[in-house]
Structure 1
Amino acid sequence: MTRYAIDRARNTLTAQWSTGIGDTATIVARLVGEQLHDAHQLAAELTQLSQLCWRSYTHPASTAEQHGPHSLGRQRQLERDAFDKVLPTLIAARADGQPAVTKIEQAALAVARTLRKLDTCELTTSVTTDVGAELAAVEQAERGDLAERAQQAVALSREDASPLQISQADRLLYDDPFGGQALFTEVDPTAAAIAAAHWFHAAVTVTAQRTNRHPIQVVGSAEQAGKPLAIESLIDIATAISAGTRARHVVMPLIRNALHIADGYVHGILDLQHRIATAQEFVHTADPELGLTPDTIPLPLTSLNPTRPAPDLLDNLLHGIHTCWQLYQHHSDARQEFVDATREEAAVRSERLL
């Protein structure tokens, strides 16, 4: 999403968004005599509008389980349809008295009211132009094109993944199975995580064969300092793909579950029941001197960071591939041999990618 701010030194309204390796910023409008409070209010409202519009990208109607009247799918579609009403709302002669059915419409009305309060024709024109560019960026990202302003999608976790983006990530990983910069700056992280899961499994397979270890032993050596749950997601992915599950069908539930938790709820209770049972068993068998009780032990609801599940999972998977190489080189320090073997294994199992 785009974050709007006031540059007090230059007296400008700016727009800033992520590129995957840092942020970029542009000047939206120059402020001349506007009240500082109203200008900050405008920046906050534009940020809220951007957040809601990008949520239509990260949470598309197509991924909702229900699509009837008053369903989640219907609500999401109404929000997406509201894109067409945003610009007319901003340029309307009056912002009051218009019905606002969706959150996006409400946010656009808030921006329009503040623009009327500031009462500057040039500011209204500049803001409307920038919002139009923001809407176009969302639509461009939906088509799988993350160039220019749509590049901010590389920092977002989506409930769906474009086959075009997955294929692009697969090609990037073929070029560099360890994950190059382009994987973080050119590809949707959900799509990148799906492709990385496929390549991670290939790396685990060739490493297990080369070291005469069980694949789960290979995965188990991928612990990350400060990320005790990372290994959980890697074991889940390696086990499922080994059983014949496609990479997409393994990764998407993990990311969607984390996104649900970020929204404040757990989708389904079976996984939660398993986590509670595991925690209770741990408390029961733990050293009494630790003083652990069911009320003091932390219970993780997901193995991923719910604020950025797709980038977090991508990081875990690439770490897993690096770990495979570290094990592999104990038996052969020929890095190109490991890369070639991983490429060959990924090609043999390519049907499991999508």
Structure 2
Amino acid sequence: MIDALKKPNLPQDGYMIQSYIRVEEAAHRVGRTLHKLDNTTLGDHVIADVEAELAAVEHAERGDLSGRAKQSCTPLPRRRLPTAVNAANDLFREQPLGSAKLLHEVDPAAAAVAAAHWLQAAADITADIAECDPSEVVVEADDIEALAVETPTRVLERLESGETPREVVLDLIRTAMTAAEGRIADPDSLPDVIADARRWAAQSRPGEEDPLATIQPRISLLDPLRPAHDLLEDLLDGIHGCRLLYHEYAEHDDDDETDEDIDEAESDELTERLDTEFDAAVRAEAEAKQDRLL
């Protein structure tokens, strides 16, 4: 690729050699543009930036997500995914709600697989106390605090149908990456996407300050530019939503005291106790269903 930037295929006698490898041909096109601009300084900067990006990808594939490699969103090779999932699963054992380490120290696709497993465990525990279907937990919690609802709910529905966390996560990421290439992974979903887009267009108002602009329907459930990270963040939000709903119902199970009777110190103590109970219950459920990660 670097050679293509430095010495691109140029037109000769009205003809030009083109590569059948899409990425390589893209590099030749950039190289031809740099050749036409004839700016040595600009060319050196572009080549240096591409070299740094390629090095970051190599670091990420070796499991080193430091520096520029943090932006990597491409799933690990399948043969190495289980090891990374186990590492992420260990981090969830420490903190069932998730931690910053999941976002910065583990491959995001592997972390999302583990997050889907722990979201399912949290939803099952919360659904029991809230007396609702596990796939409805995040929707219910959204009434308490604004959450990312669509993605965690879609994941929970697919997990309930019998798919594994790995199958669901890799399929969602693959679909988003297909959208990033300008292609449609699921043509059957187009009628719903078009209908949503038309509803949005009918409600939208012109102007940069239009709040509806942030909810414009997308062709992909995940951000095509960073699908694994986007999925991981939404799944962590879903686990947080399970905690919120668990607290809501657990607190109302105590009929001896009303909210007005509890002072700040007692409220903090109750929150800490419920957090401890929630974490323990989710850990136990996740461990009991550990075979879902295999």
TM bracket (short chain): 0.5 to 0.7
Task: After TM superposition, give the deviation of residue 95 of structure 1 in Å.
Answer: 7.0
Matches of 2:145 and 2:226 in 1, distance apart?
Answer: 16
Matches of 1:320 and 1:157 in 2, distance apart?
Answer: 22
Task: After TM superposition, give the deviation of residue 313 of structure 1 in Å.
Answer: 1.9
Task: After TM superposition, give the deviation of residue 219 of structure 1 in Å.
Answer: 2.7
Relative contact order (alpha carbons < 8 A, sep ≥ 6): 1 or 2 greater?
2
1:159/1:252 contact within 8 Å kept: no
| 1:258 match | 176
| 2:276 match | 336
**Normalized against structure 1, the TM-score is what?**
0.57
| Letter of the structure 1 residue corresponding to residue 222 of structure 2 | L
Q: Over residues 258-299 of structure 1, what are the superposed CA-to-partner deviations in whole Å (9 max), with x where a residue is unaligned?
A: 2222332212311223445x659x97xxxxxx977xxxxx75
| 2:186 match | 268
Matches of 2:144 and 2:230 in 1, distance apart?
Answer: 14
SS in 1 for 2:63: coil
Q: Would you tell me which structure has more helix in proportion to its own residues?
A: 2
| 1:244 match | 162
Matches of 1:193 and 1:151 in 2, distance apart?
Answer: 15
Matches of 1:87 and 1:275 in 2, distance apart?
Answer: 42
RMSD: 3.9
| 2:289 match | 349
1:199 corresponds to which of 95, 118, 126: 118
Task: After TM superposition, give the deviation of residue 321 of structure 1 in Å.
Answer: 0.8
Q: Over residues 134-178 of structure 1, what are the superposed CA-to-partner deviations in whole Å (9 max), with x where a residue is unaligned?
A: 43332232233323443332xx35486633332222222222222
SS in 2 for 1:347: helix
Task: After TM superposition, give the deviation of residue 231 of structure 1 in Å.
Answer: 2.2
1:258/1:302 contact within 8 Å kept: yes
Matches of 1:148 and 1:308 in 2, distance apart?
Answer: 17
Runs of 5+ consecutive residues of structure 2 not aligned to the other structure: 11-15, 204-215, 252-270
SS in 2 for 1:305: coil
| Letter of the structure 1 residue corresponding to residue 292 of structure 2 | R
2:229 corresponds to which of 302, 311, 320: 311
| 1:103 match | 25
Q: Over residues 110-138 of structure 1, what are the superposed CA-to-partner deviations in whole Å (9 max), with x where a residue is unaligned?
A: 5985998639xxx97x9978765543332
| 2:127 match | 208
% identity of equivalent residues: 34
Q: Over residues 310-353 of structure 1, what are the superposed CA-to-partner deviations in whole Å (9 max), with x where a residue is unaligned?
A: 22222221111111111112315421111111111111222222
Q: Which structure 2 residues correspond to residues 1-354 of structure 1 after superposition, within 5 A?
A: 86=2, 90=6, 101=19, 102-103=24-25, 105-106=27-28, 109=31, 118=40, 134-153=53-72, 156=73, 158=75, 162-223=81-142, 230-276=148-194, 279=196, 300-330=218-248, 331=250, 333=271, 334-354=274-294
**Normalized against structure 2, the TM-score is what?**
0.67
Matches of 1:208 and 1:305 in 2, distance apart?
Answer: 29
Matches of 1:240 and 1:117 in 2, distance apart?
Answer: 53
Task: After TM superposition, give the deviation of residue 190 of structure 1 in Å.
Answer: 2.2
Task: After TM superposition, give the deviation of residue 195 of structure 1 in Å.
Answer: 1.5
